[in-house]
Amino acid sequence: MHTFEPSELLKRLPKQFFAELVGKAAAVAAQGHDVINLGQGNPDQPTPGHIVEALQSAAANPLNHKYPPFRGHSYLKEAAAAYYKREYGVVLEPESEVAILFGGKTGLVEVVQCLLNPGDTVLVPDPGYPDYWSGIELARARMEMMPLTAAHDFLPSYEDIPAEVAARAKLMFLNYPNNPTGATATEGFFRETVRFAEEHQICVVHDFAYGSIGYEGHKPLSYLQTPGAKENGIEIYTLSKTYNMAGWRTAFAIGNASVIESLNLLQDHMYVSLFGAVQEAAAAALLGPQQCVQELVDRYESRRDTLLSGLRSIGWEAKAPGGSFFVWLPVPGGHTSRSFADLLLTQAHVVVAPGIGFGACGEGYVRVSLVSEEARLVEAVRRIAKLKLFS
């Protein structure tokens, strides 16, 4: 069989970090070991029953067996607007300020291609979600990293961005609650972001994937709650984490109408929107009872506290995350993030994500997820304790 050479574009794409992580874990599991995978962010709980029932009912409707409107059903865009009005007090015009997406990742990759030309500059958090890099490479744009450090609460310092870089930048990614650090944004930080973006005419793309997951009674802030934010940016919201709908690939972008139009235009050439029954179920999630969301957050908070208590008992100190379902843990002396992750996998059969996979500033940390039952988290701590790395 003839082997066809992939395009130069595909060759330039960054290595898929999580695919490599999955491969390593699978290899150890194939040897017969019980592997505890704390390296990925795949929600472990089922989608709430009322959402599944909405899908089942809608799937039987022959109208949903036809092509949906190219830009999605109006009722889902109206549901997204109603959700933001109810949860954040943000007013949106459904047809011009909401774009339905095939999962949040799709929108994050697409928006760069919508707005940038080859050679244009994007400000990217370091550490940050690696798929930002994929969209930037597809657009042949260039990245300028914004370091996120513990000393600055894992928020970028705009005053440290060189003036010539700020002048060149056309787009900026932010993500709070943050993956991988678990940090949350403040009102003051978002106000400063609006000011910085306005001064340099930068489009802000706020990845709000973990928007529902805040701890100790604190509700994470939407960027669009900030005065002026809609003038210079968009927010991308996914149902994956809020409603355990990761496999449903349902999300939306909201905000600046010109960016929303560009996203819709690109998607006009790629898709004919989501299956109508999935859109009906998504609307049911957004407009229906929200007790399931609070129960999920409570579950993650309990897991967070159990994990941190266990780690501290063996001498592994870490700051509690303010949001997301990740914990950002410092690596013990004498190890890199990758060598330490490999050690935990081979010796304790526990998977963690090395910080270097999220950018150069991720070195010195590993990311642990809270998408396993508490008993598995306790067992992971027990296994790590036996290695006596912190005594």
Q: What is the pLDDT of residue 4?
A: 93
Start-to-end CA distance of the chain, whole Å, equals 57
Residue 13: what pLDDT? 86
Residues 6+ apart with CB under 8 A from 25: 35, 37, 39, 345, 351
Provide the pLDDT for residue 349: 96
Domains of the chain: 8-46+291-386 (3.90.1150.10), 49-287 (3.40.640.10)
Q: What is the pLDDT of residue 149?
A: 97
pLDDT in tens, the chain (391 residues): 889 999 988 888 887 777 778 888 889 889 999 999 999 888 999 999 999 999 999 999 999 999 999 999 999 999 999 999 999 999 999 999 999 999 999 999 999 999 999 999 999 999 999 999 999 999 999 999 999 999 999 999 999 999 999 999 999 999 999 999 999 999 999 999 999 999 999 999 999 999 999 999 999 999 999 999 999 999 999 999 999 999 999 999 999 999 999 999 999 999 989 999 999 999 999 999 999 999 999 999 999 999 999 999 999 999 999 999 999 999 998 999 999 999 999 999 999 999 999 999 999 999 999 999 999 999 999 999 999 998 7
Nearest in space to 352 (alpha carbons), one of 387, 323, 322 = 387
- In this predicted structure, what is the pLDDT of residue 173? 98
Structure tokens at 254: 């909201």
Which amino acid, residue 372? S
